[in-house]
Amino acid sequence: MKRAAMLIASLLFLVVLGNAAFAQVKVGIVLPTKDEPRWIQDQTRFLDALKTAGISAEVLFSQGDSAKERANVESLVSKGIKVLIICPQDGTAAAAAADVANKAGVKVISYDRLIRGTASVDYYVTFDSVQVGMAWGDYLVSKASGKGNNLYLYAGAASDNNAFLFFEGAWKVLQPKIADGTFIVRNSDKAVALSKKATLTRDEMASIIGQVTTNWNFADAKAKAEANLTAAKKEMKGTVYIAAPNDGTARAIADAFAADKDVTKYYITGQDAEIASIQYIIDGKQSMTVLKDVRILVKDAIAAAVDFLNGKVPPKTTTYNNGKIDVPAKPTMITTVTKENVKAAIVDSGYWPASNFKGL
Ligand code: BGC
């Protein structure tokens, strides 16, 4: 009798253990901040896709704080994750968090932003960020004619490797047009000084980004645009061309330029296809955005995680050097969105429902 009871008890214990193993979080996801619609969107699309794939995962936010990011990684590692998908708050600072995961035998997937300066990154899931910058350049060049057009450059946070890739792409297209006098850069003497150089070193890019950074922050973007406008003489205004690094900062910068009585017309770029910016495009207040289909990025990240869980290696079409190693990656293409194709690219494609917009 006693033995039978013990047997039942140990069987029950095994069942509980089995369930615990089943419920174990296999994939940990760490995103930079809840304060930008971009990353809330990634979370939502991750949760949807994970549910469909039947994978147990947990999403944590770092709230712009590398110490919190590291604590998030430690907590996920202690829960027994096998794969970490992480979009770093600060690409260099996140190396320590990646090392923690790597030491615990966890595969590390850098998501959207590259973690720099460590060998602890197994894979990079990303859009083609150089193409994003080239799309801004192509758009602005397509709207300019003659010589001496006023160009204002803005960039993302210097702690984000993407800010460099976007800038590199934009420079590739804009530099020849600055060198030939089509554009005059009005808000960065460093860019003016380097305008004859087709390819910039990381340090040279950093010197320009240092002058025109928005820190990916709307308030900083607005303040910088207002300071630039205050410093600019009337002839540096009129029709202006603005390379803005993403939708949130583009709206802030666009509002500042729209409020200046000496600015008669502006063209401004963006990226992320945020709902608020799609409305700005419909209303003619933002000229373009770059659609980076987060559904594809999430799908690629989950597929890579599943490959790692199954002991396989995810597909690679190129590598990105992170200052320490060449990280394998398969970048995803991007789409330029303007008033002309906004309905097809955003609504008809199912990216955002029409009910979000007025005047489509
Ligand atoms: C992302 C952009 C985003 C920006 C600010 C970049 O690394 O690629 O999509 O707008 O960070 O969060």
Instruction: Taking residues 186-190, report their average pLDDT.
Output: 98
Is the CB of 38 inside a 6 Å radius of any atom of ligand 1? yes
3-state helix, strand, coil in the chain (%, to 5): 50, 15, 35
| Contact present, 250 and 275 (Cβ < 8 Å) | no
How much is the average pLDDT of 264-280? 98
More confident residue, 14 or 30: 30
Whether the pLDDT of residue 15 is over 50: the answer is no
**Model confidence over 313-346: pLDDT tens digits?**
999 999 999 999 999 999 999 999 999 999 999 9
Q: Which two tokens stand for residue 305?
A: 């995680």
Measured between alpha carbons, how far is 87 from 109 in angstroms, rounded to an integer?
Answer: 9
Nearest atom in ligand 1 to the alpha carbon of residue 87 is 7
- pLDDT at residue number 297: 97
- Give the model's confidence band at 20: pLDDT under 50 very low, under 70 low, under 90 confident, else very high: very low
Measured in whole angstroms, the distance separating CA 138 from the mean position of its chain's CA atoms is 20
Q: What is the predicted pLDDT for the residue at 316?
A: 98
Ligand 1 neighbour 162 (Cβ under 6 A): yes
Q: How does the average pLDDT of the chain come out, rounded?
A: 94
User: How far, in Å, is the centroid of ligand 1 from the Cα of 246?
Assistant: 7
Beta carbon of 62 within 6 Å of any ligand 1 atom: no
Using one digit for the tens of pLDDT, what is the confidence trace for 223-248?
Answer: 999 999 999 999 999 999 999 999 99
Report CA(38)–ligand 1 centroid distance (Å): 7
pLDDT over 80 at 132, yes or no: yes
Region 78-87 average pLDDT:
97
Residue 160 CA: nearest ligand 1 atom is 7
CA distance 338 to 345: 9
Task: Residues 129-291+336-356: name the CATH superfamily.
Answer: Response regulator (3.40.50.2300)
Grouping H, G, I as helix, E, B as strand and the rest as coil, residue 290 is: strand
Give dist(CA 72, CA 50) in Å, integer. Answer: 19
* Averaged pLDDT for residues 113-139: 98
Q: 3-class DSSP state for residue 328?
A: strand
Is 182 strand, coil or helix? coil
Question: Is 8's pLDDT higher than 70?
Answer: no
Tell whether the model's pLDDT for residue 40 goes beyond 80.
Answer: yes
* 3-class secondary structure, 244: coil
Mean pLDDT, residues 276-305 taken together: 98
Q: Is the CB of 160 under 6 A from ligand 1?
A: yes
Residue 310 CA, ligand 1 centroid: distance in Å = 30
pLDDT category at 5 given cuts 50, 70, 90 is low
Residue keyed to tokens 């729209």: 258
Query: What backbone torsions phi and psi does residue 128 show, to the nearest 5 degrees?
Result: -80, 90
The residues spanned by each domain of the chain are 2-127+294-329, 129-291+336-356
Domain 2-127+294-329 of CATH type 3.10.20.740: no
For residues 130 and 109, give the distance between their C-alpha atoms in angstroms, rounded to a whole number. 20
Establish whether residue 246 lines the binding site of ligand 1, counting it when its CB lies within 6 angstroms of any ligand atom: yes
CB neighbourhood size of 279 (10 A): 18
Candidate from 35, 127, 160 with most ligand 1 atoms within 8 A of CB, to mutate: 160
Give the nearest ligand 1 atom to 32 CA. 12
**Ligand 1 atom closest to 132 (CA):** 8
Query: Is residue 174 scored above 70 in pLDDT?
Result: yes
Q: What is the pLDDT of residue 311?
A: 97
Q: Residue 214: CB partners within 8 Å, gap ≥ 6?
A: 154, 155, 156, 157, 220, 221, 224, 245, 249, 252, 253
Length of the chain (residues): 360
The mean per-residue pLDDT over the stretch 10-39 comes to: 71
**Pocket lining: 36 vs ligand 1, CB cutoff 6 Å:** yes
